[in-house]
Homo-oligomer: A and B are copies of this chain.
Amino acid sequence: MPRIVDADAERDAILERCLLPFAREGYGLVRMRDVAQAAGVSTGKLYHYFPDKRSIAVALLERELASDVEALGAALAGARTGAKRRAAFLRFLEDRQDRLAATLLLALDHQRVEGAGAAATVLRAYRDALGALLGIDAEVVITMVLGVLARRVLDPAGVDLERHWTAVEQELNPVQVDDAPMTAG
């Protein structure tokens, strides 16, 4: 009998550990050797689970997107009022900042590999999922999220999340009736 493996779990574990090198170095600069090392496997095993480098990048992005949406859902699960949702959302962003920033980098690289506009559908789905969970039209909020993440990548030190969300407060809480209205600063 062969070595028994849960292929899906293995694949998933590899992806989990691939995220960092792919995001940090970028698709064009990570070497499969780096990826394998980060994943704690041999390059051969990498190719046992993925046909090529490109596929890893694609699978990585897909997995991150699904994971992000799921995590957001979980974060907002218990929050019933607008204020609680807002707070939960901010906590989610804060906690998941690094991972989300990585996803952004992955998505931008994705364009290089799959061609311009390849991520458009994904981005819209993201926006709509966010909107649905927050109960708003997330058009502007998703942009601010992207902006915050881009800033975080470029300048990891100082991004004042609170201030940014206060600035788009009305987007987050457009017609809030179930709790006290909030005014910016």
Which A residues are within 8 Å of any B CB, using their own CB?
A: 24-29, 104-105, 107-109, 111-113, 116-117, 119-120, 122-124, 139-140, 142-151, 153-157, 159-160, 163-164, 167-168, 170-171, 184
Contact = CB atoms under 8 A, between A and B. Distances in A.
A159 B123 CA distance: 12
13 contacts: A24-B116, A104-B150, A108-B153, A111-B154, A119-B154, A120-B154, A122-B154, A140-B164, A143-B150, A143-B164, A144-B147, A167-B168, A167-B171
A59 B111 CA distance: 24
Nearest to A155: B120
A28 B105 CA distance: 14
Q: Is the interface of A mostly helix, strand, loop or mixed?
A: helix
Contacts of A120: 154-157
Contact of A140 (B24, B104, B167): B167
B29 A124 contact: no
Contact of A151 (B24, B25, B28, B143): B143
**Listed residue (A111, A119, A154, A170) with the most chain B CB atoms within 10 angstroms of its CB:** A154
Contacts of A28: 25-29
Contact of A147 (B105, B112, B145, B184): B145
B112 A156 contact: no
Contacts of A156: 116-117, 120
Nearest to A124: B155
A43 B122 CA distance: 38
| For the complex of A and B, 3 pairs with smallest distance between CB atoms | A28-B28, A147-B147, A120-B155
